[in-house]
Every structure is written in C-alpha cells, then in structure tokens.
A and B are shown apart, each in its own frame.
Chain A
Amino acid sequence: MAEIDMNWYKPKPKYHEKFIQWFLLFCAAISIFITLGIIIILGQESLLFFKEVSIVEFLTSTRWQPMIDEFGVWPLLNSTLITSFIAMAVAAPLGLFVAIYLSEYATDKVRGILKPILEILAGIPTVVYGYFALTFMTPLLRLIFGADTVDIYNTASAGLVMGILILPLVTSVTEDALKAVPYSLREASFGLGATKLETSLSVVVPAAFSGIAAAFILGLSRAVGETMIVALAAGAGPNFTFNPFKAAETLTGYIVRISGGDISYNTVDYNSIFALGLLLFLITLTLNIISRRLVRKYQEVYD
C-alpha cells in the first residue's frame, strides 16, 4: 500500500519570507525608536533646564530673556498661539468650502485641475512662504493699515501666509471626511426635497463633523510647529503682546534663532531650547491624539 505523505500540505520553510517579515518589523521599529530617542533627549535636556528654573516661573511669568534669568514662556507661547489661530482663521473656512466644493459640486474635470494645484501649494518649500510673507504680505498689510501701525516683522503676516501653507492639508483631510459620508444619506436628503446646498451644509457636513474637526486640529498642530515662516516674518525678539501687527517671536522662531547662533552647550540658554521643544512636542502630540480619536469616532459610525 502506497504510503500517503502526511506532510504534503506543510509548506517548506521559506527563509526569505521570514527575512522579509523581520526586515519590515525592523523598519517599523526604527520609527518607534527614533520617536523614543527624541522623547528621551528632550526629557533629559529639559530636566537640566528645570533644575535651574522653576516650572512655576516657566509657566506663569510673562517675560522671556534667558541671558538675564527671565524664563516665562508666555511671550513665546502667546505668539505661537496668535500666529496659529490667524492661520486657522484663514485655513479653516477656506479649507472647508474648498473641500465641500471638491467633494459635492466639482465635476471630475474640475477636480482634476484643482487638486493638483492644491498639491503644488503643499509642495512649496516653507522658506519660500517665509519670504512671501516678508516681501508680499507684510508690505500689503502696511499699505492697508499704515506703516506706523504694522511693524516690518509681525505675527499677522506670518499667520496669514501660514494659513495658505496649511490650506491643502485641511482641504484634503476635510474632503476625505466628506467623501466618507455614505451616499444613502445624500439620497435620503434629496428624496425629502432638499437642494444640493441644503444637503451639503445640513446633512453631509454635520455627518462628517468629527472628521472635519480632526482636519482642523491637524492643521492647527501643523501651524504650531511651523518654523521657517515665523522665523523670517514674525520677529526675532520675545514680546508679550496681543497686537498681531507687532513683532513677537514664537517658540519655534526662538529655537531657530538660538540654535543658529551656536551658543555654548550646557548653558541655561542652550537647555532652554529643549524645554521649549518639549513643550511644542507635547502641544502637537496632544492635538494629534485628539484628532486621531475624532477620526476613529467617525469611522466607527459608518463602517
């Protein structure tokens, strides 16, 4: 009797498959280790900083000038928030409307033209945006409001241009959110006699709300971390002011200026940039976590 080989179904061990699997795991692990490394370095160096500076002063004082022992983060944080909110004031409404147009109204042909143009906008180096702010937006603002009102370096100009920078990001994530709304909802709305505009604004947008919110938060987090535009156009000195036409340095702008000047290692000034970096990291991390939560929430509803 011919013996049946019971092992016929067992695949031969494919070592190259195993290898590829390990290699891919390794690649995924690298990014995790890099993130961990960044957190550790930021934490370590910030610890050195907070050994010398009380965290209470850091978070409550409104003066920042490390050379003369003034360590209140508010002037820097304040201008970061001002530039970011100005950017959002541009990118949020504009992004939402462009996304509604692209997702609900545009024909394939129009979309085929509009989307690549938006993507080009996203591909412009931020240093170019920085000079655009300095040589176009600032003179424009000074023309409108007067050169005495608007400083040559000011947060409004940086914020407005930053809004253009994050517009493609906000648009594309918002559009994805709108597209994810099932077509049946629109059909139901049309069936009840709603116009296209009513459907878009009262049915699709509310249904995609969490996704849109996620897009805005993602845009905000991008704006908080943006460096080149604010370094060039927003000003190079800490200044606690709520007037967007005045020069005021942001968190990222300060880090760039201080690290550009090759200051001595292991001084408080040097360590201060890590503390600021950690703060920035925590802000953007929080924003990103919130936006992920929101995205997951809206995915759950329709999947």
Chain B
Amino acid sequence: MKKALTMVLAALVAATVFAGGQQEGTKADDGKFAWITESEDGVLPGVNPLEVSGDIITAGSSTVFPLSEAMAERFADEGYAFNITVDSIGSGGGFERFCVAGETDIANASRPIKDKERTAAAEIGREPIEFRVGTDALAVTVSSNNTFVKDVTMEELAKIFTSEKWSDVRSSWPNEKILKFIPGTDSGTFDYFVEEVYDKDPSALLGTSDLQMSEDDNILVQGISESPYGIGFFGYAYYVENQSILSVLNIDGVEPNKANVDAAAYPLARPLFIYSDAKIMKSKPQVAAFIAFYLTYVNEEITRVGYFPANESVLAGGKQAWLKAVEGMY
C-alpha cells in the first residue's frame, strides 16, 4: 500500500514538474541565485526569503524535527511564500526517502549517514552532503513523580533498559517493574543509544520486557510522565518542552546542560545533521536558499528549541560545504 502511495506521489510530482517550470524556482539571468542579498556572516551569501520560490520537502529525524520546524517557520516569517514540509519519521525513514525513493530535498538526521545509504543514494544519482546544525544531549528521563532515580552510571543505564525490575539494577530501588519507553528502531536516537550503550548490538534492548516503542516522541513523553516506574530517552528538546512533568537523569554524575555539552563531559551528547545534494541545491535554488538560511541563523534558534550550538569550526565546515556545492551560483 505504501508503495502504491509512493508511486502516486511520484506521479503527482512528475506531473507538477511537467506542468510548469516555475516549480523549479527562479534563477537570475546570469545563472546566479536570484535570492542573494547582503551577507550576514561574511561567509555565506545572504538570503532574501521574499525572492525565494518553489516548494521544499524535508523529512527525517524526530529529534531534528523541532529545530528544522523552527527554521522553516522563521524562513516563512521573513517572507518565504511557498510550502516547506518537515516530516518527522525517524532518521532511517528520512534517509530512505532521500536516498532510495529520492522524494525529498533534505534529510534530517540525528546520526551520520550510513555507508549503505550513501551507496543507495549513488544509485539514484545523489551524493549526500552533510551539514552539521547542532548538538543534542540525549535526555534519559523519568516521571517527575519518580523520586528514587536521580543519577545513573553508564553501566546502570545499560542494565536498566534490559532488566525487569528496578531492584535488579540497584538493590535500594523499589521491587517494581521497569516500564521502558524508547524511540522505534527506525530512529537515529535508537541507533545512537544502541551504539553508545550496547556496543551496536540491539538484541538485548529489543528482547527486554515491558518495552514500548514509538517514532512519536510525544507518545514517549506521555508514557514516561504518567508511569512512576517508567523510564525513557529522546532528544533534549522534548525534555525542555516537558520539564514540568519529567525529570532528567545525570549520567555518570554529569548533568546534561550547555556547559557540560560544550566541554564534551556529558557522555550522551551527539551531533545533529541535515543532508542534501549539490544537484538538488543547484536545480532547486529554494533548497540552497533554505540551507544557507538554516546555517546562518541556526544558532539564534537552537537554544530556544532546546538543543546546543555546534562548535564554531564544524558549523563553518558546513558553510564551506555549501559554498563548494553551488560554486558559481553566488
């Protein structure tokens, strides 16, 4: 059924492309982007959203979703008048649609792209370019009604998500079942957690009892907050948004906060990315514009969303990658 839907969508996309070139966005006569204005940061060309035309389709990580959504909103607030879609379907799903189906312009991801996804992309003529947009401190949270867990070690963390009862992990904890609420297997957050905590082997985590999985982080938030003996993890932004009903745990005695993320002290800090492709950015100037806009202003939005700025040098690396991808058009 999904395949059929994809085919219908593909047909629709094809139809709109044939129907009119205006969907492809506008280029100035000299082959340069029409939306260029005075540069904000001295590196990337400035973006005038009023001059940007054509739709943008993005999909992927539910962790990156609030950030991309905030950037899309700002883009629209400043005058972009077309549609930008931000689908929250998990990093794996995002790459599936970007690299295999080829339906999206940008993939949001909370983990780096895998080799097999790059290979798949090459088969449809896409070469994914990575742009680092920020840093997340993966938040391990319990209900605010939970008074017994405040601090866990990495070893205990691994044990909690594979044990049946709290008392199995630490004898002073109650003899109650551990209800686990975690992101689905398609999620970059799941992959990251398995890689960091279980050395890339998901079988223990997936084989555990009382496990609830969802690609929708709000379902996890609700599950954890309403279960005194529940625990789960997701991107820090979802904790920030629900601080009144959740408590975040310190890992190895380190609290997830800006200072500890900057100092690389928090063990579960991880990079957030968006991916696109040079050909897409050239043929759809709106995509190049949005990414330039994203990279220029991301640090003004990221804290409000609930993540942490990436360090200056990696952000600058992304900007250089942008300049290289669309060389000659600015």
Contacts and interface: CB of A to CB of B under 8 A. Distances in A.
A237 B93 CA distance: 19
A239 B213 CA distance: 12
Contact of B89 (A41, A153, A261): A261
B206 A261 contact: no
B5 to A, nearest CB: 10
A151 B227 contact: yes
A108 interface: no
Interface in B127-169: none
B219 A236 contact: yes
Interface stretch (A109-117, A164-172, A262-270): A262-270
B228 A147 contact: yes
B228 A261 contact: no
A263 B184 CA distance: 10
Interface residues of B, number: 38
B227 A152 contact: yes
Interface stretch (A7-15, A64-72, A121-129, A178-186): A64-72
B212 A260 contact: no
B20 interface: no
Contact of A235 (B1, B92, B94, B212): B212
Interface in A240-276: 246-247, 257, 259-265, 269
Contact of B213 (A41, A147, A237): A237
Contact-residue bracket for chain A: 20 to 34
B185 interface: yes
A151 B207 CA distance: 20
A260 B202 contact: no
Interface in B158-207: 176, 179, 184-187, 202-203, 206-207
Given A67-B202, A152-B222, A261 B90 contact: yes
A264 B96 contact: yes
Given A151-B179, A264-B100, A65 B214 contact: no
Contacts of A269: 185
A148 interface: yes
A41 B3 CA distance: 11
Contact of A262 (B97, B176, B202, B223): B97
B2 interface: yes
Nearest to A247: B212
B70 interface: no
Interface in A149-176: 151-153
Interface in B1-27: 1-3
B213 A68 contact: no
Given A152-B222, A152-B223, A239 B90 contact: no
Contacts of B184: 257, 261
Contacts of B187: 261
B207 A239 contact: no
Contacts of A68: 202-203, 206-207
A236 B213 contact: yes
A257 to B, nearest CB: 7
B96 A236 contact: no
A41 B2 CA distance: 12
Contacts of B222: 134, 152
B93 A263 contact: yes
Contacts of A63: 207
A205 B219 CA distance: 45
B56 interface: no
Interface in B224-280: 226-230
Contact of B210 (A239, A257, A259): A239
B260 to A, nearest CB: 31
Nearest to B187: A261
B325 interface: no
A129 B89 CA distance: 24
A236 B202 contact: no
B105 interface: no
Given A151-B179, A264-B100, A67 B185 contact: yes
Contacts of B211: 237, 239
B325 to A, nearest CB: 26
Nearest to B220: A236
Interface string B79-117: 000000000011011101100100000000000000000
Contact of A236 (B2, B59, B214, B229): B214
Interface in A91-148: 134, 147-148
A239 B177 CA distance: 14
A176 B214 CA distance: 42
5 tightest A-B contacts by CB? A262-B93, A152-B226, A261-B186, A237-B212, A261-B215
27 contacts: A67-B185, A67-B206, A68-B206, A148-B228, A152-B226, A152-B230, A236-B214, A237-B210, A237-B211, A237-B212, A237-B213, A239-B210, A257-B213, A257-B214, A260-B215, A261-B90, A261-B184, A261-B186, A261-B187, A261-B215, A262-B59, A262-B92, A262-B94, A262-B96, A263-B93, A265-B3, A269-B185
Interface of A: 41, 63, 65, 67-68, 70, 134, 147-148, 151-153, 235-237, 239, 246-247, 257, 259-265, 269
Given A239-B211, A262-B89, A262-B97, 15 more contacts: A68-B206, A151-B179, A152-B222, A152-B227, A237-B210, A246-B210, A247-B179, A257-B184, A257-B214, A261-B90, A261-B93, A261-B186, A261-B215, A263-B93, A264-B92
